[in-house]
Copies of this chain bind each other. A is one copy, B any other.
Amino acid sequence: MTQTRKTSFQDVRDAVIRRIQDQEWPQGSLLPTELELAEEFGCARATVNRALRELAERGIIDRKRKSGTRVCVAPVKQAKFEIAVTRHTVEETNAQYRYSLVDRKQLEAPEWLRARLGLGGVQPALHLRSMHYADNQPFQYEDRWIMLDTVPDAETENFEIIAPGEWLVSRVPFSDAEIVFSACAADETLGRFLGTPTGTPLFQVERTTWFQGQPVTYVRLTFQPGYSMSTRY
């Protein structure tokens, strides 16, 4: 059964991709207009538009009114990482997850934290340090500050059972965030909790989060030695 289905936006998108790969439309060259493509593919202009819009979002083509659509010369690769709560990251590897609170203190936000959040003045904050284990092996050390002016409920939560990350996502629907990936050396504390010698190179993620313009939390997640994050695109 060779079905003669209606041309979908995916057909158009894939055909365009193929032509770019085959250098039929080389880098920097101008594509036909939406109307011309719609005629060629026998579909509505809206269908072509959706296909091309998707490719533009992926950084493959560049669209401008009046000038038209061009193939990007130096396509900027976009790598998308999915950041889940630590429990899910661990359980996805079929390992048993365990969480343990190390320390909980209510303090004033230190100078460096206020600077990072763009705040002046005195700010009450909760400082939490905790460990995440996979199959009882150290997986991740978490050092977190929660801003109590933004999330006052945190003051009465002891965080002995539920990890602060999970507690927060259940309270704060979603938020703006800045995320930083880097390498650091294990200091004495990290070495002790992650079971590795001082000086071991470790992968770390820092995340700063705002909700409706208010600072929610800053967290530094340091992973077990050898950990890596990967993705495809």
Which of chain B's residues have a CB closer than 8 A to the CB of A88?
74, 76
Judge if A191 is at the interface, Cβ distance under 8 Å.
no
Q: Are B181 and A211 in contact (CB under 8 A)?
A: no
Q: Is B71 within 8 A of A82, CB to CB? A: no
Copies of this chain, count: 2
Tell me if A161 counts as interface (CB < 8 A to partner B): no
A85 at the interface (CB under 8 A from B): yes
Are A180 and B229 in contact (CB-based, < 8 A)? Answer: yes
Contact (A174, B60) CB under 8 Å given A82-B77, A184-B201, A211-B21: yes
Asked if A232 lies at the interface with its beta carbon under 8 angstroms from chain B, I say yes
Contacts of A20 in B (CB 8 A): 173-174
Bitwise, A177-216 to B at CB < 8 A (1) or not (0) is 1111111110000000000000111111000000110000
Tell me if B170 and A183 are in contact (CB < 8 A).
Answer: no
**Bound CA–CA A228/B184 (angstroms):** 10
Shortest 4 CB-CB contacts between residues of A and residues of B: A183-B183, A201-B201, A182-B228, A180-B230
